[in-house]
Amino acid sequence: MCPKYERNNRRTQFLFVLCPFFALIIFSFIFFKNEKAEEHHLEIKTPDEAIADLKNGNLRFLENKSVHLNYAHEIDLTKKEQHPHTLVLTCIDSRVPPEIIFDQGIGNLFVARVAGNIEDDNILGSMEFATTIKHTKLIVVLGHNYCGAVQGAIDNIGLEHLTQLTSQIKPSINPHKTYPLSDYTIDDTSRKNVVLTIEKIIQKSATLEHQLKNKEIKIIGAYYDITNGKVAFLENNEVLK
């Protein structure tokens, strides 16, 4: 037999043996990812469990270990029902995607977005729907640094409908600080805006206030740093440091 033919034959046999091995590794990786994603679709029963899930998800995101990446599989999991454990009220800023930074799958979160993450009657109605009809356990008001809406409020930018929106942010501006605008000023105002928004939600919705007092839900603040991907959680309604 030709030596060249023998070498090619041995190479073919070697690859034939290895192919099932590599196929098993790939299958195991995909199965593990899908299994981990399904674990995060299990029902969360308490607000504290929801908070823990968001914290763990942000840690996975920071470590580049997100498990909710097989969207076709997640569509299949949620095509007949949804069980969102958290409603996130956040800004429209394109750099703040809640499902990604918390590593949450399709069907895990309700997300309400408005510039400056402020409340209004439509937002409150959405929250009441989430907690009462879908039994969502947690509401998170998620602010972020370098917020353009907050900057607009500080700069008194006036437009047809924007003026009314920024007027809701203005109470968060510290009247004792010396302006002009700085990154610190925007950041300080954004953090205070999270706290005031939570207070307004509780003041304006008797439904949510009742659920909060009965410990059926929690309403907390969080603050996303767009420069490093970290989320700081505010669980006692104190001003974020």
Torsion of CA 182, 225, 89, 176, to 10 degrees: -30
120 is in an annotated binding site: no
**Rounded Cα distance, 123 and 168, in Å:** 14
Structure tokens that stand for 191 in this block: 């953090």
Residues 130 and 84: beta-carbon distance below 8 Å: yes
Beta strands in 133-240 (DSSP E): 138-144, 218-224, 231-234
CB neighbour list of residue 183: distance below 8 Å, 6 or more residues apart: 145, 146
**Rounded Cα distance, 111 and 123, in Å:** 10
Structure tokens that stand for 172 in this block: 């968060």
Residues 208 and 26: beta-carbon distance below 8 Å: no
2 is in an annotated binding site: no
Annotated binding-site ranges for Zn(2+): 91, 93, 144, 147
Annotated binding-site ranges: 91, 93, 144, 147
